[in-house]
Amino acid sequence: MSDQKYVCVDLDGTILLYDEWRGENQFGKPVAGVQEALERLRSAGWKIIIYTTRSDNEAVSNYLKLHAIPFDYFNENPEQPKNATGGKPMADAYIDDRGIQFNGDWQKTATEVLLFVPWEKRKKSDQADEYDKEAISFLGRDYGEAFSQLRAYDAQIWEILKYSFGQLIASIAAVWVIFTLANGENPPAILSNIWKLVSAIILMISFAFGVLAIQLILQNRVYFTDVARYINDQREFFLSSKPAGFSNRSEYYTDWHKPKPFDFNSTQFLSVIVIALISSILLGFSGGLIGFYIGLQDVFSILIGAAVVVVSLTITIFCSIHYLKAKKEDAKS
């Protein structure tokens, strides 16, 4: 086809007012403004194809001429390839009172069909338009809530860190008190015998709480990234049309793929490393104390403690990375 622009325009309900079918030679009044609008298209170089189910082209033509409504063809495009005739005319745009534009989202399109009411039968406004307005309003409210929640995640991470360091310091202090009492003057006999075991148990409990804190931090990271990606997705959607000419040259947070759940430099993961390191060291001390308690040589007890630190730290970091990367893969799917 040439560079000529064509527009297919429906007749009843679009060019003419339409209530119900009253016969081949019965026409409604022209819709206000139709002559000026179609003339504007023609002046811009467009050819106008009247696309109608009416079969009496002569009657339609006479009516359109009577009311000075511009048109060029009926139900055909003269430039249409011969092997593509017999169906709808080819056009660059279609105007129809019952048409719904497909924009790539079938769920939204299906909703528009279910809510569709022709304009001449609407009492107030288009139900589909009302749905879109409510959807946009919902997204706006949801965006505000999500952004507020995003700030809350920063506060939550610091609360978790304060709790973690608080219980770690408390555990160290408790072990120090037990050690001081057991090795001071006139210590209780029972404490002298079991202080290593009691201290080891306290440190193991502290490690368990450290693992719980790490799990909370990892969940915090996943929730944070989900909310942040949701916000970025909304930004990209609404800013892609450059509203009011805003081009977002800084490309401020519009990539819905980011942030990733696993980011070595993130505050959450650095917090995981710190807590895992301190907790593993305490667990290592616990292992060494148990070695001393059961009578192993000092060197073996120290080696056991060091091994526990390395193994515990390695497993904790590995499991944390695996957990976050698994969430990253879930996000891809």
Cβ 239 vs Cβ 253: under 8 Å:
no
Mean pLDDT of the chain: 86
Q: What is the mean pLDDT of residues 212-229?
A: 92
Q: What pLDDT, on a 0 to 100 scale, did the predictor assign at position 65?
A: 93
What angle is formed at CA 50 by the lines to CA 48 and CA 52, rounded to 5 degrees?
160
Cα distances from 241 to residues 238, 248, 249, 267, in angstroms, run 6, 10, 13, 34
% of the chain at pLDDT higher than 70? 93
CATH class for domain 5-99?
alpha beta
Q: What pLDDT, on a 0 to 100 scale, did the predictor assign at position 329?
A: 57
CA distance 133 to 126: 10
Amino acid at 148: S
Q: What is the mean pLDDT of residues 11-40?
A: 86
- Between the two ends of the chain, the Cα-to-Cα distance in Å is 42
Q: What pLDDT, on a 0 to 100 scale, did the predictor assign at position 299?
A: 93
Q: Higher confidence at residue 131 or residue 331?
A: 131
CA distance 132 to 140: 12
Give the count of alpha carbons within 13 A of 50, CB side only. 25
Q: What is the mean pLDDT of residues 197-212?
A: 94
Residue 115 pLDDT > 90: no
Q: Of 181, 178, 172, 264, give the one whose Cα is nearest residue 209.
A: 172
- The CB-based long-range contact list for 263-269 (8 Å cut-off, 24+ gap) reads 266/221, 267/154, 267/157, 268/157, 268/217, 268/218, 268/220, 268/221, 268/224, 269/221, 269/320, 269/324
Backbone dihedral region for residue 99 (phi beyond 0: left; psi -120 to 50: alpha; all else: beta): beta
pLDDT digits (tens, 9 = 90+) for 174-202: 999 999 988 888 877 777 789 999 999 99
pLDDT digits (tens, 9 = 90+) for 245-287: 777 777 768 888 888 899 999 989 999 999 999 999 999 999 9
pLDDT digits (tens, 9 = 90+) for 284-325: 999 999 999 999 999 999 999 999 999 999 999 999 999 999
Q: Where in the chain are the domains?
A: 5-99, 130-328
How does residue 333 score in pLDDT terms, banded at 50, 70 and 90?
very low
